[in-house]
Amino acid sequence: KALKIGMMPADGIGREVLPVAQRVLSLTPGAPKFEFIPLPAGFELFTKTGVALPEETIRCLKEECDGAMFGSVSSPSHKVEGYSSPIVQLRKNLDLYANIRPVVGVRGTRDEDKWVDTVIVRENTECLYIKSETIEDTPNGKVAKAIRQISERASTRIGKKAFDVALARQEMRSRLGTAAAVGQAKVTVCHKANVLSTTDGLFRESVRAVKENDSISKGGAGRYHEVEMDEQIVDSMVYRLFREPEVFDVVVAPNLYGDILSDAAAALVGSLGLVSSVNAGDSFIMGEPVHGSAPNIAGQGIANPIASIRSGALMLEYMGYTEPALKIYRAVDHVLREGNVLTPDLGGKATTDDVEKAVLLALGA
Ligand code: NAI
Ligand code: MG
């Protein structure tokens, strides 16, 4: 039986890079059989129909699909009546509470001791992204306010996810054969509890309790004790990430900090066009490149498809198909290391098509 994957390229370069991921997935030796189902979503769809995420898309994902991939959406920065970002809606609707974003360097482009190999585990459902905003006129002009929600439940489950990711990575590292700078699995809790002691305080306490409760509740059988835990305040986190990225293994953060941290980490490895993610719940996985719709390069055929290709592999990995996922990671690493087929964001002259061909060649597809 084929795996059914809902495909939502959405807007901008999402439409150029998601089909590449689809072809790579279907041509990867040893990958399961796929049935890709194209599904409408996006801002352009909204401008045409008044709906950014049709009910039918959600129904199909929930009832028929085993997994999904999302490209990128061109959300405007000004308020548009009736519009809300389909990616944010999808995360909520499918309860994809964790956004897992690995950031991996390219060998040879930095000193080996400054090797970047970290995963940002971003809480996906709350924080400032509940979008509870108000604005009022006051004698001193307009005042806008936003509510930031942090719950024990959401913080605990994202904490567990972070420990699970740390354990899974430990295993993948040895199978990939990359000697990671971080030998020992570690979770770093990122927060600003020194100022926001109530909200970030609850996040910090909840994640810390995950490790302690694991050994208690499982009568010593839990494995989280194998994972080291430390913490970092978000502003100095960015500083340390740039100074000494090699010290970070898994970083767990509330929604907004995680969003910002992962773009910052992308700069470290050279391009947003390299960074992949999955949105994960307890029973559904959606792959998604971290970048947006890149209107400045859309339609030119030069978008870097690697973030999407890796997102496809990451989706496979989190669905339990680690062998074909590893093949894709290795093929991408090979192309990056060779360095003669790179898109302009990485300083090269190659097109999206060229990179696809190079990856397929490295895959032996
Ligand atoms: P962006 O990620 O689209 O672009 C930032 C910069 O990175 C641009 O210079 C772009 O050319 C470059 N870039 C991004 N992906 C690339 C790739 N694959 N290959 C080569 N270069 C790449 O962020 P920006 O410009 O802030 O946002 C543009 C639109 O995307 C906005 O409407 C925003 O709302 C939306 N967006 C959507 C996201 C999503 O769908 N999850 C995430 C972030 C932004
Ligand atoms: Mg972002």
Is residue 173 very low, low, confident or very high in pLDDT (cuts 50, 70, 90)?
confident
Is residue 270 very low, low, confident or very high in pLDDT (cuts 50, 70, 90)?
confident
CA of 84 to the centre of ligand 2 (A): 15
pLDDT the model gives residue 222: 80
Give me the DSSP letters along 282-330: SS-EEE--SS---TTTTTTT----HHHHHHHHHHHHHTT-HHHHHHHHH
CA of 333 to the centre of ligand 1 (A): 23
Query: Kind of pairing, strands 127-138 and 278-280?
Result: unpaired
pLDDT the model gives residue 182: 45
275 or 113, greater pLDDT: 275
For ligand 1, pick from 293, 311, 343 the residue to mutate: most ligand atoms within 8 Å of CB.
293
Q: Which two tokens stand for residue 300?
A: 């030119």
Q: Using CA atoms, how far apart are residues 278 and 318, in angstroms rounded to an integer?
A: 8
* pLDDT above 60 (res 108): no
CATH code 3.40.718.10 region(s) in the chain? 1-100+274-365, 110-269
Is residue 171 very low, low, confident or very high in pLDDT (cuts 50, 70, 90)?
confident
Give me the DSSP letters along 75-139: --SS--TT---HHHHHHHHTT--EEEEEEE--TTSS-GGG--EEEEEEE-S-EEEEEEEEEEEET
* CATH class label, 1-100+274-365: alpha beta
pLDDT the model gives residue 181: 42
Q: Using CA atoms, how far apart are residues 292 and 88, in angstroms rounded to an integer?
A: 13
Number of the ligand 1 atom closest to the C-alpha atom of 263: 2
What pTM was computed for the model? 0.92
Ligand 2 ion: residues within 5 Å (CB): 259
pLDDT in tens, 69-90: 999 999 999 999 999 999 989 9
Closest C-alpha to ligand 1, atom 17 = 273
What residues contact residue 39 under an 8 Å CB cut-off, 6+ apart? 6, 7, 8, 57, 60, 61, 68
Contact 124, 99 (CB under 8 A): yes
Does ligand 1 lie within 6 Å of residue 187's CB atom? no
Does ligand 1 lie within 6 Å of residue 124's CB atom? no
**Which ipTM did the prediction report?**
0.97
**CATH number belonging to domain 110-269:** 3.40.718.10
Q: Using CA atoms, how far apart are residues 157 and 142, in angstroms rounded to an integer?
A: 38
Write the burial class of residue 140 (CB in 10 Å: 0-12 exposed, 13-18 middle, 19+ buried).
Answer: exposed
pLDDT in tens, 30-59: 999 999 999 999 999 999 999 999 999 999
3-state secondary structure of 158: helix
pLDDT the model gives residue 263: 85
Of all residues in the chain, the percent with pLDDT exceeding 70 is 94
Identify residue 311 by its one-letter amino acid code.
Answer: S
Closest C-alpha to ligand 1, atom 32 = 74
Max intra-chain CA distance, the chain:
68
